[in-house]
Amino acid sequence: MKMEFHIHTPYSDGLNPIRYLNWYGRNRFLIITDHNTIRGSLEYKKYRPTIIAEEILCKRDDGRNVELIGLFINEEIPKGLHYMEVIDIIRAQGGLVVAPHPLDDVRYGFGEDADRYVDIIEVFNAKIDNPIYNNRAQEIFKDSVKIVGSDAHYPLALNSTEIEIDEFDIDNPKDFLNKLKNAKFRVKYYSWPTRMLWRGWRIVRKILKNKK
């Protein structure tokens, strides 16, 4: 089956309407990973099968902000907690922990020791500007369970990655993890026009927020 991981909706900072994702997801399995909320995942689940997920902003011991993704969770996890507390909450819910863009400090990467704490490493993130972060992740975490993510905040960024994975039980995290070990990945970076459109929108959004 085809799967796409790491997608954002208007429930956080994305521009992918749920109804559009319903159409887009007719021939692929989508995992919504909104920032600090599971509302996008829950809304999408009304239309298509999915794994409930959340991308959570948390803190390391030195106070640095990092992000983790919880998969197979059923309760929202607040932002700002210590990273070990977030990991404990995810696992208490029977979930899996993912380190997204782990080496990108600008985007709250967890760091080179991510594999000591998490179940899955995102070794390719299509939104990353500097390919060195992905290249290093693939080298450093070559022995970890891997996943790739589109990090799609808008429709043009969708289909940047594709995961070919055997059918799995969507209610069984262990089955998902085992099937992911043998998955095949197709990846590409965003085009520069796509990146410029997103940066332009972020500037406009910031201006509009400041006017309120």
pLDDT at 200: 75
CA distance 105 to 108: 5
- Both tokens of 52, joined, read 């409930």
Q: 80, 76, 52: which is closest to 66 by C-alpha? A: 80
Asked whether the predicted pLDDT for residue 208 surpasses 70, the reply is no
Is residue 145 a contact partner of residue 165, using CB atoms and an 8 Å limit?
no
User: Ramachandran region of residue 176, left (φ > 0), alpha (ψ -120 to 50) or beta?
Assistant: alpha
| pLDDT band (50, 70, 90) for residue 195 | confident
Asked whether the predicted pLDDT for residue 212 surpasses 90, the reply is no
Which three-class secondary structure state does DSSP give residue 126? coil
pLDDT at 209: 67
Asked whether the predicted pLDDT for residue 191 surpasses 70, the reply is yes
Q: What is the mean pLDDT of residues 175-194?
A: 94
Q: What is the mean pLDDT of residues 71-87?
A: 99
- From the candidate CATH numbers 3.20.20.140, 1.10.260.40, 3.40.50.360, 2.40.50.1020, the one assigned to the domain spanning 2-211: 3.20.20.140
Is residue 88 a contact partner of residue 66, using CB atoms and an 8 Å limit?
no
Asked whether the predicted pLDDT for residue 211 surpasses 90, the reply is no
| pLDDT band (50, 70, 90) for residue 62 | very high
Single-letter amino acid code for the residue at 50: T
